[in-house]
Amino acid sequence: MFSIQKMLKGPLFTHHSFRKWLCLLAIMLSRSRFSLANPIQNSNPILSNDNQVRTQYLYTDNNNMHLYLQITHNGVVTGTEEKNDYGVLEIKAVKAGVVVIKGIRSNLYLCMDSRHQLYASAYDKDDCHFHEKITPDNYNMYSSEKHSEYVSLAPLKGSQMARFLPIATPSDTFNIDHHDVMINTDSSESWNGIGFPWGPSRK
């Protein structure tokens, strides 16, 4: 690490040093993003370590349109062309490479049933756990841990949308309490909740 004395010698930023700082910044951001996908070391991982929670929109597109994934209050999972409160999602790791995705406004979790249909419900370990995969071009893909199918939005036109770009939400979008519901991720019992299937999900 350069000492303050050495840093004060010569120009504060040269073209070379500026490029070096940009590279370091890219590495730091990459490491920060990787750490968010690490498992939470706690007996109740849904509730602990708020710094592991990401509040984001999930954006996807094809050659014909773009959509934001949204989870509505009546349990419907769909896509919308405009950002709205139902598209603000809380993404949290429950174990290595596995996350849960909750709609902040609806307070329901993204789920997938045995027919590979998306729906939203209160927490259900079997249907609400998704493997998170980051592609080389920094898109995220989510596949059901139990049903081994990718989360995908089926647009009216064009191909399926299974690659999602996480977009940060404004910090003041919601006053979020990450400790609102006690969830036992080790329980095999499903929680009762509203669940409406929406559309087939295919790769």
User: What is the percent of the chain where pLDDT is above 90?
Assistant: 50
- CA-angle at 102, arms to 97 and 105, nearest 5°: 160
The confidence band for 81, taking pLDDT boundaries of 50, 70 and 90, is: very high
Which CATH class for the 11-170+192-203 domain? mainly beta
Please determine, for residue 78, whether its predicted confidence score (pLDDT) is greater than 70.
Answer: yes
- Find, among 85, 91, 86, 89, the residue nearest to 53 by Cα: 91
* Four-residue CA torsion sign, 130, 155, 197, 123: positive
Please report, for the chain, the start and end positions of each structural domain, with discontinuous segments joined by +: 11-170+192-203
149-162 pLDDT, tens per residue?
999 998 766 678 99
What is the per-residue pLDDT for 64? 87
**pLDDT score of 98 more than 80:** yes
- Taking residue 30's Cβ as centre, other Cβ atoms within 10 Å add up to 12
What digits encode the pLDDT tens for the residues 144-196?
999 999 999 987 666 789 999 999 998 655 555 544 444 444 443 333 333 33
- Average pLDDT over the chain, rounded to an integer: 74
Token readout for 45 is: 């991982």
